[in-house]
Amino acid sequence: MTNNSILSHRKEEPENGILYIVGTPIGNLNDISQRAINILKNVSLVACEDTRQTKKIMNKFNISNNLISFNEHNSLIKIPKIIKDLKEGKSIAIVSDAGMPGICDPGEDISRSVKSEGIDIICIPGACAAITALVSSGLPSSSFVFEGFLPKKQINREKILLEISKNEKTTIIYESPKRLRKLLKELREFCGGNREIIVARELTKKFEEHVGNNINEVVEFFNNKDIIGEITVVVRGIKKGDFHPDKLIIKKDLNDLINAGLSLSEASKYLAKRNGLKKSEVYNMI
What is the DSSP pairing of strand 231-235 with strand 19-22?
unpaired
Task: Supply the pTM of this predicted model.
Answer: 0.81
pLDDT digits (tens, 9 = 90+) for 199-224: 999 999 999 999 999 999 999 999 98
Contact 254, 167 (CB under 8 A): no
- Residue 242 has a pLDDT of 63
Higher pLDDT, residue 120 or 251: 120
CATH class of domain segment(s) 3-127: alpha beta
Overall average pLDDT of the 68-97 stretch: 95
Overall average pLDDT of the 39-56 stretch: 96
CB-based contacts of 75, cutoff 8 Å, min separation 6 = 106, 109, 110
Question: What mean pLDDT is reported for the chain?
Answer: 90
Domain ranges for the chain, please list them: 3-127, 130-235, 247-284
CATH class of domain segment(s) 130-235: alpha beta
- Residue 274 has a pLDDT of 74
Q: Model confidence at 31, in pLDDT bands (50, 70, 90)?
A: very high
